[in-house]
Amino acid sequence: MPVDMRDQLHEAIPESLKNIILVMNATGLLVPPLEPDERNERQKSLWVATQERIERFLPGFLIEVLSAPTSPRTRPLSQILQSAGASVPASPVPS
C-alpha cells in the first residue's frame, strides 16, 4: 500500500469512528457514565463493550470525543473513569 494512502487511512479511520460515536451519543445509544448514573442496562453494557474495544487501539479516544459536561451534579468523564480504576492517558489523543 502506498505511503500516501496509509496516511489518509490513519487520519480517516479515527475521524469516521469519531462521527459514529457522536451520532450514537446524540441518539442516546452510547452514553458515558455520569453521576448520578441514570443509564439503563443496555446503555451501560454498550458503553463498557465500546470502551474496552476502542481503548485497545485508540487510548483516550472516548474521553476526548465524549467529555462529560460539568455541572454541580456531574464530574468530568476522566475523573469518573479514574475513580473506577480505568486507565486515562495523561494527554489527549490528537484528532
Phi-psi region of 60 (alpha: psi -120 to 50; beta: other; left: phi over 0): left
Q: Which of 56-60, 75-79, 86-90 has the highest mean pLDDT?
A: 56-60
Per 3-state DSSP, the chain is made up of helix, strand and coil in percentages (nearest 5) of 55, 0, 40
Question: Quick one: DSSP state of residue 87?
Answer: -
Cell numbers for 49, please give them: 463493550
* Three-state SS at 81: helix
- How far apart CA 60 and CA 74 sit, in angstroms, is 20
Residue-wise pLDDT for 11-28, tens only, equals 898 999 999 999 999 999
Question: What's the pTM value of the predicted model, to 2 decimals?
Answer: 0.63
Q: Where are the domains of the chain?
A: 5-69
State residue 76's pLDDT score.
Answer: 58
